[in-house]
């Protein structure tokens, strides 16, 4: 059984056997924001509200989820001053999916399961569109024999992360108050309820398609689920939709690999590095060769699996 940095399989653990159950708190959270967000937004459409939605979504998804939560907290693919780390991760908490510790747990458990030779349909998004939506947005998988999850002390004992974990839903309140003071209730509907609804649905949608079909440059031999690239979603996901690349090189801060692959999260990281705020950036070119990784892109003119093609910038 394959283990990952934080998730350790043992003799009885299984990524297959388990039951998907309704997760009441998460479901009510998702459902009520969906109702308020969609009904409220239809009743209050205006250019100003659309701009508030776009700006708050870009900041929380791009700087928060992609850079702070995923590339930094979960994968440690670069380092930065502690204050900046807190700001980026806090912006990621505002996406409304979970607290920092919950996000690491959800991500790493799925990652561990997908690397086994077989895993539950829940982990691989194998079920049909609507059932997968219901499972991922309103349910949770209870594994009968889960693996051991070990969180590093740097996060587990950090008082700021523990506070964010306890209060992740309440973290929307300061944002709502600021938006209300600036532009009234409409702004709260668009900048909180609709933003969280679109972010959660979008995150599920990309996860659903990125594990089923699409362009593939790499194949991880023996893994229960493969990642695929969704080029059409590259800009709106800040580069996260290069998910095939991510399965191949999870530790890379850069999710794009070839020229023409748009990766706004990477552009922001490069800008932060240029002004000295980000350092120790890990990319595919600096990661050790990973056993079981096969290059499968039939259209690829770079037949050599050497990593020279990553070094164009």
Residue whose tokens read 């990524």: 15
Which residue's CB comes closest to Zn ion?
Answer: 227
DSSP symbols for 278-298: -B----GGGSPPPTTEEE--T
**292: alpha, beta or left? (left if phi > 0; alpha if psi -120 to 50):** left
Tell me if 18 sits within 8 A of 120, measured CB to CB: yes
Least distance from Zn ion to the Cβ atom of residue 125, Å: 9
Q: Closest CB to Zn ion among 172 and 247?
A: 247
Q: Which stretch binds Zn ion (CB under 5 A): 16-24, 223-231, 274-282, 288-296?
A: 223-231
Contact status: 214 vs Zn ion (CB under 5 A): no
Least distance from Zn ion to the Cβ atom of residue 33, Å: 25
At 166, is the secondary structure helix, strand, or coil?
Answer: helix
Residue spans of alpha helices (H) in 94-194: 100-115, 121-124, 129-138, 153-156, 159-166, 172-183, 185-188
Q: Closest CB to Zn ion among 290 and 302?
A: 290
**CB neighbourhood size of 270 (10 A):** 15
Q: Which stretch binds Zn ion (CB under 5 A): 37-45, 172-180, 224-232, 256-264?
A: 224-232
Burial (0-12, 13-18, 19+ Cβ within 10 Å), 313:
exposed
Q: Which stretch binds Zn ion (CB under 5 A): 48-56, 76-84, 219-227, 300-308?
A: 219-227
Tell me if 26 sits within 8 A of 196, measured CB to CB: no
Selected from 139, 146, 191, 227, the binder of Zn ion by CB under 5 A is 227
Contact status: 96 vs Zn ion (CB under 5 A): no
Q: Which stretch binds Zn ion (CB under 5 A): 165-173, 177-185, 221-229, 255-263?
A: 221-229
Give the residue among 257, 242, 250 at the shortest CA–CA distance from 288: 250
Least distance from Zn ion to the Cβ atom of residue 98, Å: 14
Q: Closest CB to Zn ion among 57 and 245?
A: 245
Count residues binding Zn ion (CB under 5 A). Answer: 1
Q: Closest CB to Zn ion among 4 and 171?
A: 4
Interface with Zn ion by CB under 5 A: which residues?
227
């Amino acid at each position: 059984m394959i283990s990952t940095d934080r998730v350790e399989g043992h003799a009885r653990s299984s990524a297959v056997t388990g039951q998907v159950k309704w997760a009441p708190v998460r479901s009510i959270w998702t459902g009520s924001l969906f109702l308020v967000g969609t009904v409220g937004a239809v009743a209050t459409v205006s250019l100003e509200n659309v701009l508030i939605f776009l700006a708050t979504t870009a900041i929380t998804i791009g700087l928060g989820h992609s850079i702070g939560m995923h590339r930094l907290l979960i994968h440690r693919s670069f380092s930065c001053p502690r204050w900046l780390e807190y700001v980026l991760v806090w912006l990621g908490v505002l996406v409304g999916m979970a607290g920092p510790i919950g996000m690491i747990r959800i991500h790493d458990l799925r990652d561990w399961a997908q690397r086994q030779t077989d895993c539950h349909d829940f982990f691989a998004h194998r079920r049909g569109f609507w059932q997968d939506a219901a499972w991922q947005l309103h349910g949770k998988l209870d594994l009968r024999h889960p693996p051991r999850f070990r969180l590093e002390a740097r996060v587990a004992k950090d008082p700021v992360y523990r506070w964010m974990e306890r209060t992740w839903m309440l973290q929307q309140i300061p944002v709502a108050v600021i938006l209300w003071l600036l532009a009234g209730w409409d702004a709260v509907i668009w900048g909180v309820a609709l933003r969280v609804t679109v972010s959660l649905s979008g995150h599920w949608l990309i996860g659903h398609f990125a594990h089923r079909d699409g362009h593939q440059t790499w194949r991880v031999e023996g893994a229960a689920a493969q990642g695929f690239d969704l080029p059409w979603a590259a800009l709106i996901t800040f580069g996260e939709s290069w998910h095939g690349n991510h399965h191949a090189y999870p530790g890379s801060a850069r999710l794009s690999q070839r020229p023409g692959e748009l990766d706004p999260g990477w552009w922001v990281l490069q800008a932060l590095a240029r002004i000295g705020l980000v350092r120790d950036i890990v990319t595919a070119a600096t990661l050790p060769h990973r056993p079981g990784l096969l290059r499968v892109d039939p259209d690829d003119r770079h037949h050599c699996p050497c990593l020279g093609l990553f070094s164009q910038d």
